[in-house]
Structure 1
């Protein structure tokens, strides 16, 4: 209860002082005409840095990532940095710490992604910068806690520091000239198939609290950046969607409510998405590796952590509404 009240207080304070959060936008038609979309983050925003058909969703050839949906709403596109584009986000990327959530040192952190962009690019007045983080850091710290290599208190402290580090990167982008930054924290991981598989109410409650702690610390770290930063609340959005998926066409209740399930069957024998070996990894998922006899467009989740195409597009459309109201 305390966490919920703190979250409300932070949101109200931010709205009152800098019009930062999603609910603070006006209904005025957008005057912004973006010249480029640039993205940094983890698997949630990865547009194909493992490969064009290796996004963390069902790789069906559609616009299946929220960043691409948002860009498409303005008539633009966003391509992976591996092919010369401006989509720098990488699956399993943590904010400042290496290795990544799956133990790889090859993945660029969010900080390193920004390093790479700023080393050869200059931010322009009509650029829109999209940045997310938190999922990989929470997964990595949670796995360490449940493995007994760190305490719950250490996990909480590390997650809070990760949020502050993400806020510092947002400040860095603003200092570098970013005038339109769309910031996304983490959705509530306790509503994921990963949490459902844990199946322990006490641990699920702790996972939800950990998510809230991350997002609260992130909000506090950017509360003075409202002139240039819009916070799009993934936790709020997906809490509503997971509670009543049938209200968000084409989603339905099958596979989503009351217990979420991934629609992909692409099991990864390796570390995959950071939750252990032999788990479904949607970066390997195509329309040939789905649950038999189902309509995957009605599913929320592609794998135990990441969203299927319809959910990605819905969030991208919601983000477009927030951006067009804000700027």
Structure 2
């Protein structure tokens, strides 16, 4: 089945009228879409678990048949976009969970757990743990991911489409600080805002290093995710903090003259639109449950004799054997408390592709697709 036959929809955000068109195509069929013949575009990706194409796959796939933060074996949005442009996105490094990072040769630098510029990230081993840098997730900061790319390749090529996201783990890390000590709220808000500034500065660095086609994704509305039901922070407060992050990021991009030179993806509005029209888009469960059964995942870890089985309860370790139900990858929006399922990832990828196609900042990309550059 060709890519053009898969789920089709257009979502306009920020006051633009919304239209959704759904073709009766299953996520499994869409995953098998034939890549287009347009092979001139190479995808480079930086970010966190939303964009991680398999940093921890050697461990997660060997023991759990997992490997990415979704309903495995499904692919994520960055892989779908790469496929759309005729590319294959592979991890730049693999390792973690007892193994140091080793080069893999790909251009997917995003790592699960990464914050924008600081450590520790989410899912890293506690300080003092033997080999703490790679005992669990490595979570290399996104700032360091970009530095590593530039040390390896020196600059970005004109035929590269750069995808970058970040900030979610800075949000989660600092929400955790508030949960443990509410008096740290002012410091937490400052830290989250600083992460937005740092993400904008990273985009500037990528642009100065030759990046001509850059897609920047802001923070989604995680108050709509199952996570919001598990933290003692009101949903309206989570929304306010996320909107503050997104507005700061936008201001920084504007201040650097980049707002009209990059494609800024409004993930916040996108999630709200999809949740609001979830049933029309083929979801049976929108925000109240997870496609991956955390209890089954921790049970599998326990049977394997792994230390602290609760660590292995997110979608990185999810497979059809631990789905909440057989078609969970298509029926649910969320794989775990925050990560999108295969179905949701497909919709996100197509939305980003449409934004790229209509953006003035990526008009030169069309020439690449036609082989004119």
TM-score, normalised via structure 1 length: 0.81
Q: Report whether the alignment pairs 1:93 with 2:104.
A: no
User: Structure 1 76/294 Cα, relative in aligned 2: closer, same or farther at 3 Å?
Assistant: closer
The secondary structure found in structure 2 opposite 1:143 is helix
Report what 2:77 is aligned to: 66
Q: Report whether the alignment pairs 1:207 with 2:238.
A: yes
The Cα shift of 1:34 comes to 4.7
Which runs of 5 or more residues in structure 1 are unaligned?
A: 1-10, 13-31, 271-275
Report what 2:248 is aligned to: 217
The Cα shift of 1:280 comes to 3.2
Aligned length: 285
TM-score, normalised via structure 2 length: 0.72
Q: Report whether the alignment pairs 1:77 with 2:88.
A: yes
Which runs of 5 or more residues in structure 2 are unaligned?
A: 1-13, 16-37, 59-65, 94-103, 126-132, 302-308, 363-373
Report what 1:261 is aligned to: 289
Q: Report whether the alignment pairs 1:46 with 2:57.
A: no
The secondary structure found in structure 2 opposite 1:76 is coil
1:58-84 CA distance string (max 9 Å, x none)? 112x4x211111111111121111221
1:153-180 CA distance string (max 9 Å, x none)? 1111110000000001000001111011
User: Structure 1 173/252 Cα, relative in aligned 2: closer, same or farther at 3 Å?
Assistant: same
Contact 1:280–1:304, Cα closer than 8 Å, also in 2:
no
Name the stretch that deviates more: 160-169 or 102-111: 102-111
Matches within 5 A, 1:133-212: 133-148=166-181, 151-198=184-231, 203-212=234-243
Q: 4+ residue stretches of structure 1 with deviation over 6 A?
A: none
Q: Distance in 1 between matches of 2:243 and 2:260?
A: 24
Larger radius of gyration: 2
1:91-145 CA distance string (max 9 Å, x none)? 0100011010234443210001001100011311121100000111100000111
The Cα shift of 1:149 comes to 7.2
Q: Distance in 2 between matches of 1:36 and 1:235?
A: 27
The Cα shift of 1:196 comes to 2.2
The Cα shift of 1:298 comes to 1.7
Contact 1:92–1:102, Cα closer than 8 Å, also in 2:
yes
Q: Which has the higher contact order (CA 8 A, sep 6+)?
A: 1
Q: Distance in 1 between matches of 2:311 and 2:68?
A: 18
Q: Distance in 1 between matches of 2:172 and 2:178?
A: 10
Report what 1:113 is aligned to: 145
RMSD: 2.4
Q: Report whether the alignment pairs 1:246 with 2:300.
A: no
The Cα shift of 1:268 comes to 5.0
Q: Distance in 2 between matches of 1:174 and 1:190?
A: 32
